[in-house]
């Protein structure tokens, strides 16, 4: 799946791309245009600003976090089929500002959304209803992610902490202190271990080094006991 600045989303068959790259996947990652990586299976053209896209747990739908023309954050869902028009979709308003991130739980029953309004929404996937919200952050959400057992939700923003909550109720379980917040997070697929990436905006993490360009990023892994 590739999203573009013109708010279109292209779906590619990786098997076809790899087989046409002379047996090497490196040529795919060096490609910078659609002509080099082949024709997409399907293209979805969104009227709203696309901020993140994922396939649903069943693989039957494409789900996008968007910002509407009026500034509202919405979740848009398309059935993924080559025979169905990409114009047919469902829209679910979720936040008073743009939705910057979303994540499905491994069990496929829950969806988390993080918005510009500093709220995290917890959704029932079967009904597509937001059942609970987490309002402990004060800045826009950068990343949300579920633990391997779908029981814990980690949320991060520009604030110097990561919020750990009960994935069903939103109740706070714990928090992780960070130096510069967390731009992106991911749980280990088998254990209670959370990896997060954060920037070093003041360059303080680099000693005796002159660095040109964007500030460096740091990846940190935090392990928890099974009693979390």
Map out the domains of the chain as residue ranges: 1-45, 46-223
pTM, whole model, 2 decimals? 0.77
CA 39 – CA 74 distance, rounded (Å):
29
Go through 172-198 and write b for each residue having 16 or more CB atoms within 10 A of its CB, e for each that does not. Answer: eeeebebebbbeebbbeeeebebebbb
CA 81 – CA 84 distance, rounded (Å):
5
pLDDT of residue 172: 97
Residues 6+ apart with CB under 8 A from 149: 106
> Superfamily assignment of 46-223 in CATH?
YVTN repeat-like/Quinoprotein amine dehydrogenase (2.130.10.10)
Q: pLDDT tens, position by position, for the chain (228 residues)?
A: 777 777 778 777 777 665 555 555 445 444 445 445 568 877 877 777 888 888 888 888 889 888 888 888 999 888 876 554 555 778 899 899 999 999 999 999 999 999 999 999 999 999 999 999 999 999 999 999 999 999 999 999 989 999 999 999 999 999 999 988 899 999 999 999 999 998 765 444 333 333 334 455 678 888 887 656
pLDDT of residue 145: 97
CA 32 – CA 41 distance, rounded (Å):
18
Joined tokens for residue 110: 């829950």
CA 122 – CA 113 distance, rounded (Å):
7
pLDDT of residue 206: 34
pLDDT of residue 208: 33
Q: Do the beta carbons of residue 149 and residue 136 sit within 8 Å?
A: no
Give φ, ψ of 171 to 5 degrees: -65, 140
pLDDT of residue 211: 36
Can you tell me which residue has the tokens 């740091």? 218
How many Å is the Cα radius of gyration of the chain?
A: 19
pLDDT of residue 9: 81
Give the three-state DSSP class for 52: strand
> What are the C-alpha distances in Å from 8 to residues 29, 65, 79, 138, 149?
20, 13, 16, 31, 33
Length of the chain: 228
pLDDT of residue 163: 97
């Amino acid at each position: 799946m590739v999203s573009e600045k013109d708010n279109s989303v292209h779906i590619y068959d990786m098997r076809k791309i790899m087989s046409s790259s002379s047996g090497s996947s490196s040529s795919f990652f060096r490609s910078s245009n659609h002509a080099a990586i082949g024709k997409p299976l399907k293209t979805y053209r969104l009227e709203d600003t696309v901020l993140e896209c994922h396939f649903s747990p069943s693989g039957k739908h494409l789900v996008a976090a968007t910002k509407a023309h009026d500034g509202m954050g919405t979740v848009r869902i398309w059935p993924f089929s080559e025979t169905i028009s990409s114009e047919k979709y469902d829209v679910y308003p979720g936040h008073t500002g743009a939705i910057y991130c979303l994540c499905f739980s491994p069990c496929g029953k829950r969806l988390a959304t993080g918005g510009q309004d500093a709220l995290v929404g917890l959704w029932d996937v079967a009904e597509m209803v937001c059942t609970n919200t987490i309002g402990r952050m004060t800045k826009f959400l950068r990343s949300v992610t579920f633990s391997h057992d779908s029981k814990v939700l980690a949320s991060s923003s520009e604030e110097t902490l990561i919020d750990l909550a009960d994935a069903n109720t939103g109740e706070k379980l714990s928090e992780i202190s960070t130096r510069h917040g967390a731009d992106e997070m991911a749980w280990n697929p088998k254990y209670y271990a959370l990896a997060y990436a954060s920037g070093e905006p003041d360059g303080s993490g680099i000693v005796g080094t002159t660095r040109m360009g964007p500030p460096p990023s740091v990846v940190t892994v935090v392990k928890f006991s099974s009693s979390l």
